[in-house]
Chains A and B, each alone.
Chain A
Amino acid sequence: MDALRRTPLHARHAEAGARLVPFAGFEMPVQYSGIVAEHRAVRSAAGLFDVSHMGQLHLSGSGAAASLDRLVTCRTSRFALGQVRYGLLCNEEGGVVDDVTVYRSGDQSFFLCVNAANIEKDADWVRRHLAPGTDFENRSDATALLALQGPASAALLGSLSDAHPGELGRFRFAEFLVAGQQVLVSRTGYTGSDGFELYLPAAGAPSLWDVLLDAGETLGVVAVGLGARDTLRLEAALPLYGHELDDAGSPLEAGLGRFVDLDRGGFVGAEAIVRRRDAGHDRQLVGFVLDERGVARADYPIFHEGSEIGRVTSGAPSPSLGKSIGLGYVPPAFATLDTPLTIEIRGRQIAAHIVKTPFVSKGSANVG
């Protein structure tokens, strides 16, 4: 087995006493003070995440836009400079190679932010689908990525910036001077709370990390690990590749139709996604809340009236709801609100019911 890779902030995590675990080939902090406390800090103040393990794949040149049209499912028309879009890379069968955010950084330049576990797979996939006249560069190692998430993020970032990142709209980005460093600031995140993602050269990451935590201390800003990142994204019902998404499942089954521009078409997998939709999907992703104590974890079986109908893809106790929540695939006939389910947890059937997702939006609980 290969040695675990480290982000530019590894020493900071070790000094802070974070619990470090292997994740996607990197040694990453799963928690600092505790998952629940970190989760609550993001919902009430703000949290700072090191997500430098994620990858950045840059496309530029006269063929870059055409390459993107072929690669990603999302709308690519009227894609303005400084705009970010969420989309999927799909394979010929309509399965998901990865879920990505796409940044338009110039007339002929774009980059994709991709999942750490998929960097090599995506880089290979993208290279194989480039239109003529496209330059490709994998800048994952040279790029650090911090996420500052939570309602206090805009105030904290604004206090350290040469301009007003708080005026960026959702899914917009721009370059700012933050604590003396040139940083690409994006109004995006993976938590269901307001926030920013900050891209900068790897060497600058430790000083930016320090200044954000120091300046944020009075606001209640804390370092947050991957444990709370997972519970936060689950409350927001944001999919995690390898759990809700994989090389086989269609993005429509995962409820991501609004990120799949079938009117445009022309991307890899478009025909298969339509064919599978027209044939009728045999499963659909739903959110559920447990009615009893327990934690429904990934791969636990889902039952309805005594018959197994699906599997949990993600589950965790929700600090915002005070209940256990989860996502899982069930046949479309059962994918209706309030459908009673049971989740098999260590041989016992624990009652649950289907609810509307996200469980939490704009930082507040949606469901009871």
Chain B
Amino acid sequence: MGDYELPATLRFTANDEWVRVAGSRITVGITDFAQQQLGDVVFVELPETGKSFDKGEPFGVIESVKAVADLYAPVAGEIVEVNTDLSERPEAVNEDCYGDGWMIVIAVADAAELESLLGPDEYSASVAARESDH
């Protein structure tokens, strides 16, 4: 597997999402590893603001030329912002997954759930474990 970028300031999920925590709000996107695995992203389906999701519940869908994958809420909460630019420029997920490719902002329901998120080392260990299955 090739290299992938993993910003030290972010938290991660085993579903290949990154989380930027700012107080009681989190911004969510998919990791560099995930966008590399998907390849050219052609479509991102995101929820409307105001919708609430449980931790681990699918909140959207990302499609590349070859694959379709669900996006999972890293923690429970309400969607307060959605990156609507992705409907016109889904390729931003490939070009800048930690920046312009962000997907949603969630108002976190229970701050204690943030403890379950992975650090960069734990996340890369989870990727390595999956890669060694091949």
Contacts and interface: CB of A to CB of B under 8 A. Distances in A.
Interface in A2-41: 17, 19, 30-31, 34-37
Contact of B61 (A19, A35, A346): A346
B40 A36 contact: yes
A230 B2 CA distance: 24
A316 interface: yes
A227 B39 contact: yes
B45 to A, nearest CB: 8
A317 interface: yes
B37 to A, nearest CB: 8
Given A17-B2, A293-B87, A346-B61, A30 B40 contact: no
B43 A35 contact: no
A295 B39 contact: no
Contacts of A294: 43, 63
Contacts of A17: 2
Interface string A29-71: 0110011110000000000000000000000000000000000
A297 B68 contact: yes
User: What secondary structure prevails in chain A residues at the interface with B?
Assistant: mixed
A231 interface: yes
B65 A231 contact: yes
B63 A295 contact: yes
Interface residues of A, number: 19
A227 B38 CA distance: 12
Contacts of B68: 295, 297
Interface string A310-324: 000000110000001
B87 A35 contact: no
B130 interface: no
B40 A35 contact: yes
B39 A31 contact: yes
Contacts of A19: 37, 39
A205 B97 CA distance: 38
A168 B65 CA distance: 34
B42 A34 contact: no
Nearest to B88: A293
Contacts of A231: 65
B63 A35 contact: no
A227 B66 CA distance: 7
A317 B61 contact: no
Given A17-B2, A293-B87, A346-B61, A317 B66 contact: no
Contacts of A317: 42-43, 65
Contacts of B42: 295, 317, 324
Interface string B5-48: 00000000000000000000000000000000101101101000
A305 B34 CA distance: 38
Interface in A99-145: none
Given A35-B64, A294-B63, A324-B42, 8 more contacts: A30-B66, A34-B40, A34-B94, A35-B40, A293-B87, A294-B43, A295-B68, A316-B65
Interface of B: 2, 37, 39-40, 42-43, 45, 61, 63-66, 68, 87, 94
25 contacts: A17-B2, A19-B39, A30-B66, A31-B39, A34-B39, A35-B39, A35-B40, A35-B64, A35-B65, A36-B40, A36-B65, A230-B66, A293-B43, A293-B87, A294-B63, A295-B42, A295-B43, A295-B68, A297-B68, A316-B65, A317-B43, A317-B65, A324-B42, A346-B45, A346-B61
